[in-house]
Amino acid sequence: MIEGFSAEDVRAAEEPLLAAGVPLMERAAFGLAMRALAALRARGGVRGARVVVLAGRGNNGADAMLAGAHLAARGAAVSTILVAGSGVDHAVARLRSQGGRFLALQDADDPRAIEMCRTATLVLDGVLGTGSAANTGVRGNARTLMAQARGAIASAGAFVIAVDQPSGIDSTTGAVPDPQAVLPADETVTFGAAKAGLLCEPAATYAGTITVIDIGMGAQLTATAPVVRRLQVADVRAERLLRAPRASDHKYLRGVVGIIAGSAHYPGAAIMSCAAAQHAGVGMVRYFGPREAASQVIAANPQVVHAAGRVQAYVAGSGLPADHDSQAGADRELAAQYSASAAALALALGTASPVDLARLGLGEGAAPVPIVLDAGALTALPRNLPAHVVLTPHAGELASLLNQAGHPDVTRAGIEGAPLRFARMAHGIFGGTLLLKGSTTIIAGAGGVWSQNDGTAWLATAGAGDALAGIVGAVLAQNSSLIMTGRQDTGRIVALAAMIHGMSARFAAGLHPVADGQGGRIDPDPNLGRPITVPGLIECIPRAVAQLLSASPDNGGTIV
Ligand SMILES: NC(=O)C1=CN([C@@H]2O[C@H](COP(=O)(O)OP(=O)(O)OC[C@H]3O[C@@H](n4cnc5c(N)ncnc54)[C@H](O)[C@@H]3O)[C@@H](O)[C@H]2O)[C@@H](O)CC1
Ligand SMILES: [K+]
């Protein structure tokens, strides 16, 4: 598990160690230098390599310069641009003593600074760290330089390491107030613990590979709640989050998912959602929909059962239009789908009427089960939903939900610029467990916030969300009794679903899974991969499940 902390909490954890004289900065700089050396060795060697240090006047710049001194001692040509005109004295002196050269920036347009960047092999971005004013981005001369240097550094093909964080991002929220002045990094070498903002969009896009350098403050943070967590392959195994079939299992014990999706006019979402759930390893998928749609679903997935009856989790709304009234008025099938979806939500809330239960093929006294509300089911939601009601909007759908909830100014673009903030806000309003789709998936629930980034940009394709809804339904069904008895956090299980979805997409794109953080690294596969289709992704779900299951014989959960 990767835990992302607020900059404030990391700084608070550092304080007692600093007071005790622990050389945190030396440790940070040494770890940074080791990563920089590895990057240089992979690019033709250290001796004679041209390293450019962009140093602000705070400790972030000092870290970068002290690392620069290690590199200079090993033969690299290290040039430092002091973007604020000066820097921490002892770090300047150390680097100078190793032969480092300096340019104290007085004029933001100084051509010498851009020229240095244009010929760099490696750039260390040490302009701003956790001490920066969060909501402004880089300012002054430093801003002008960063904005101009981006192009020069890109044309040099230089490897960029962000020191602690890319300068100008909000390391707690992941906001990027001034994207034009942020230098995209190939790697972020962060100290002590991952900062939450590195795990959240849009900042995550600028961070590249994240490497956490242990500077000995882990113990200080154990009592601190992380802002976000990220589930990794090893956690799924260690916590036995996936249930492998047992010899004594039959199909009902392996989880049954009920899918209320699509219609005769919109069968694709139902086909994909059912197929995804089936491939994720449940015992049965029941399809709730009109006969004509069902025949298409079954033609594509012959094992799907078109009969109402008992399930351990529902998925409702995929492939159903959001504007119920205008659509359903003209289409009786859609109207029936909406009312089945409403009945399943009522069951989850414990308020189902006999008519609702009959619609779902259930008898009196049927117990609540988890439900996923997707696409057309994401409208006019009640508040204070229990955790086992999972909402899976994309940014546009979340904007509509928040607009309906009395926040007319919230826009899709606004949410994309601050997904963590809006996911928390929506969870605060609606309760339940919220999965906000995006290049990084944010899950906000009663047990905290998860940020999963297991996929690939190829995943931005129609139908990927339908597959996700099916996978979420499958893992909820498999963990239904644990969730409904409070023995498992719904958010953790939804994070697992996002992980299966992302891994499947990477396999379909010919990529390896995102590397597992061993040695403190989160390493994306450098290959670009290839286009994927949603059926291709679905075919790869069993491979993702198998990888996550290995060494995870049984989660001990019973599905009833
Ligand atoms: N506190 C500690 O014990 C440790 C801190 N470390 C490093 O120290 C960093 C934090 O250092 P600081 O607190 O000195 O802060 P920073 O180095 O992040 O920056 C503070 C300085 O930047 C300038 N500044 C602030 N906002 C600005 C803006 N918007 N535009 C341009 N300039 C701006 C200010 O002049 C201020 O002096 C961490 O990110 C990490 O790199 C590490 O050395 C590990 C130990
Ligand atoms: K930085």
Amino acid in the structure at residue 437: K
The number of the ligand 1 atom at minimal distance from the alpha carbon of 64 is 41
Query: What 8-state DSSP symbol labels residue 192?
Result: S
Would you call 277 helix, strand, or coil by DSSP? helix
The helix (H) or strand (E) run that includes residue 209 is strand 209-213
3-class SS string, 86-150: CCCHHHHHHHHHCCCEEEECCCCCCHHHHHHHHCCCEEEEECCCCCCCCCCCCCHHHHHHHHHHH
CATH number reported for the structural domain that contains residue 106 in this entry: 3.40.50.10260
Residues 210 and 317 in one domain: no
Q: Are 167 and 128 in contact (CB under 8 A)?
A: yes
Instruction: Count how many Cα atoms sit within 13 Å of the Cα of residue 105 in the half-sphere of its side chain.
Output: 29
Residues 220 and 302 in one domain: no
* Closest alpha carbon to 531 in 510, 515, 514: 510
Is 69 among the domain residues?
yes
Ligand 1 in contact with 142 (CB < 6 A)?
Answer: yes
Ligand 1 in contact with 28 (CB < 6 A)?
Answer: yes
Domain residues for 183?
2-230
Is 554 among the domain residues?
no
Residues 311 and 447 in one domain: yes
Instruction: Report d(CA 166, CA 185) in Å as an integer.
Output: 7
The pLDDT score that the predictor gives to residue 521 is: 76
Residues 81 and 194 in one domain: yes
Residues 541 and 423 in one domain: yes
Residues 359 and 323 in one domain: yes
C-alpha of residue 543 to centroid of ligand 1, in Å: 44
Q: Are 380 and 404 in contact (CB under 8 A)?
A: yes
Amino acid in the structure at residue 235: D
Is 193 among the domain residues?
yes
* Closest alpha carbon to 451 in 197, 229, 209: 229
CATH number reported for the structural domain that contains residue 250 in this entry: 3.40.1190.20
Of 230, 247, 277, the residue that ends a domain is 230
The pLDDT score that the predictor gives to residue 518 is: 61
**Domains contained in the chain, number:** 2
Mutation test residue for ligand 1: of 60, 163, 182, 198, the one with most atoms within 8 Å of CB: 60
The helix (H) or strand (E) run that includes residue 33 is helix 24-41
Tokens of 421: 């903030």
Is 559 among the domain residues?
no
Q: How many residues does the chain have?
A: 560
The pLDDT score that the predictor gives to residue 355 is: 97
Residues 302 and 386 in one domain: yes
Query: What 8-state DSSP symbol labels residue 313?
Result: E
Residues 147 and 43 in one domain: yes
Q: Are 55 and 126 in contact (CB under 8 A)?
A: yes
Residues 209 and 257 in one domain: no
Q: Are 506 and 454 in contact (CB under 8 A)?
A: yes
Interstrand relation of 50-55 and 77-82 (parallel, antiparallel or unpaired): parallel
Instruction: Count how many Cα atoms sit within 13 Å of the Cα of residue 328 in the half-sphere of its side chain.
Output: 17
Query: In angstroms, how far is the first alpha carbon of the chain from the final one?
Result: 29
Residues 291 and 313 in one domain: yes
Helices 490-508 and 464-478, packing angle to 10 deg: 130
Interstrand relation of 187-191 and 159-163 (parallel, antiparallel or unpaired): parallel
Amino acid in the structure at residue 468: L
Would you call 338 helix, strand, or coil by DSSP? helix
Protein residues with C-beta less than 5 angstroms from the ion ligand 2: 60, 125, 163, 167
Sorted by sequence, the CB contacts under 8 Å of residue 94 that are 6+ apart come out as 65, 66, 69
Tokens of 191: 């100290």
Is 154 among the domain residues?
yes
Mutation test residue for ligand 1: of 130, 145, 211, 215, the one with most atoms within 8 Å of CB: 130
Instruction: Give pLDDT tens digits along the chain (560 positions).
Output: 999 999 999 999 999 999 999 999 999 999 999 999 999 999 999 999 999 999 999 999 999 999 999 999 999 999 999 999 999 999 999 999 999 999 999 998 899 999 999 999 999 999 999 987 667 899 999 999 999 999 999 999 999 999 999 999 999 999 999 999 999 999 999 999 999 999 999 999 999 999 999 999 878 888 899 999 999 988 998 999 998 898 998 888 899 999 999 988 889 999 999 999 999 999 999 999 988 899 999 999 999 999 999 999 999 999 998 877 666 666 888 899 999 999 999 999 999 999 999 999 999 999 999 999 999 999 989 999 999 999 999 999 999 999 999 999 999 999 999 999 999 999 999 999 999 999 999 999 999 999 999 999 999 999 999 999 999 999 999 999 999 999 999 999 999 999 999 999 999 999 998 876 666 777 777 778 999 999 999 999 999 999 999 854 444 444 33
Distances (CA, A) of 360 to 232, 324, 353, 544: 36, 20, 11, 32
Of 230, 245, 262, the residue that ends a domain is 230
Sorted by sequence, the CB contacts under 8 Å of residue 15 that are 6+ apart come out as none
Sign of the dihedral defined by the CA atoms of residues 289, 433, 453, 204, in that order: positive
- Residue given tokens 């760099």 in the structure block: 120
Is 485 among the domain residues?
yes
Of 165, 200, 230, the residue that ends a domain is 230
Ligand 1 in contact with 189 (CB < 6 A)?
Answer: no
Residues 370 and 336 in one domain: yes
319 is in an annotated binding site: yes
Taking the CA atoms of residue 102, residue 104, residue 108 and residue 114 in that order, the dihedral angle to the nearest 10 degrees is: -10
Q: Is the pTM of this model over 0.90?
A: yes
Is 558 among the domain residues?
no
The helix (H) or strand (E) run that includes residue 557 is none
The pLDDT score that the predictor gives to residue 413 is: 97
Is 137 among the domain residues?
yes
Residues 111 and 185 in one domain: yes
Q: Are 122 and 36 in contact (CB under 8 A)?
A: yes
Q: DSSP alpha helices (H): ranges in 405-445?
A: 412-417, 419-430
The number of the ligand 1 atom at minimal distance from the alpha carbon of 215 is 44
Instruction: Report d(CA 63, CA 493) in Å as an integer.
Output: 39
- Residue given tokens 């004594």 in the structure block: 248
The helix (H) or strand (E) run that includes residue 229 is strand 228-230
